[in-house]
Every structure is written in C-alpha cells, then in structure tokens.
Amino acid sequence: MALCAGDAAQRSRLGAHGLCHGRAGLLLLLRRMAADQDGHGPVRLADQIPLLREELLESTHKGQASHGLLEGTIGTALALAPRPFEAGGALGDACLAI
C-alpha cells in the first residue's frame, strides 16, 4: 500500500476523486490502515497521507459532476474530514465496506 500511495505514476491512474475507485477512497483506506499500523513497519503509511490529501484537494477544485457518496463531493468530503473514524469509526468503516 505504501508503495502504491507513494508512487505518482500509480496515483495518476486514479481517474476520479470518488470513494469507489478514486483518490478519496485511497485516502480513506490509507488513513484507516495507517491508524491500524500504529507506526510499526518499514514504511509508515501515515507519511503518505499529506501528499495524497493535497492531490485530492487539487483535483476536487477542478470540479465534480456528482454530489453523491461513492463518486461525488460527499465521499470526497468524508475522506477529507479530520476524523472520519471517530465515534467508533462507524461512518468511515461503513464507507470502506461498500
């Protein structure tokens, strides 16, 4: 995961911003995996989060046609939220389960 998230060529293959197959989904998944990693391992997943978050913000400003959860602005907003896994993590985890 760290190699994919840290590779600009791999990230450029994500065509959308959405949760389903886009940068928002990668960010949400990466944040959850980083929280579970708790700083252990040869590569800290958390180190990849700021760059991916910035790229998501930049691509979001280019416009999204949909306002839905999976492919639109709502999903992007969830991924960019400061703490999508608080309060038991139900909201963020439910989106990952979709």
pLDDT of 61 = 65
pLDDT of 25 = 85
Whole-model pTM: value is 0.75
pLDDT of 68 = 66
Task: Give the whole-angstrom CA distance, residue 66 versus residue 42.
Answer: 38
Tell me which residue of 52, 64, 50 sits closest to 23, measured CA to CA: 52
Which residues in the chain come in under a pLDDT of 70?
15, 39, 61-69, 83-98
Maximum Cα–Cα distance across the chain: 39
Question: Please, what's the b/e burial string for 51-73 (b: 16 or more CB within 10 A of its CB; e: otherwise)?
Answer: ebbebbeebbeeebeeeebbbbb
